[in-house]
């Protein structure tokens, strides 16, 4: 079944929010591409190129990446990516993407 226009709008909003904090994760945990892959899976679903179950697996992997880091900002950023991919399964995950993205930004310490 094709996603509704409303579902696609939620996915686009989730993608934008998570993409904004992905660099926080990648700077703290170089070489771990699971959050990026989750966002790529989200885009693939939006383009009709991936199933919901495939995107859900990628979302779970992004959440595992969050559990695997001690860096709080990176953890929140990975969670934002995982929640963004989870919007494919349930559009109501969208507020969680924003919440984690805001937490990730708040945890980034300015360089002195």
Each residue's pLDDT tens digit, 1-57: 678 899 999 999 999 999 999 999 999 999 999 999 999 999 999 999 999 999 999
Q: What are the boundaries of each domain within the chain?
A: 5-107
Backbone dihedral region of 62: left (phi > 0), alpha (psi from -120 to 50 degrees) or beta? Answer: alpha
User: What's the whole-model pTM score?
Assistant: 0.95
| CA distance linking residue 90 with residue 67, whole number of Å | 22
CA distances from 89 to 22, 72, 81, 105, 108 (A): 21, 26, 14, 26, 30
Q: Tell whether the model's pLDDT for residue 112 goes beyond 60.
A: no
């Amino acid at each position: 079944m094709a996603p509704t226009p409303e579902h696609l709008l939620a996915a686009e909003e989730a993608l934008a929010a998570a993409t904004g904090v992905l660099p926080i994760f990648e700077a703290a945990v170089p070489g771990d591409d699971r959050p990026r892959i989750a966002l790529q899976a989200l885009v693939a679903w939006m383009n009709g190129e991936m199933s919901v179950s495939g995107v859900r697996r990628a979302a779970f992997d992004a959440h595992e990446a969050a559990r695997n880091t001690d860096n709080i900002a990176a953890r929140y950023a990975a969670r934002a990516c995982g929640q963004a991919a989870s919007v494919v399964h349930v559009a109501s995950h969208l507020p969680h993407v924003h919440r984690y993205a805001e937490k990730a930004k708040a945890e980034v310490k300015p360089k002195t």
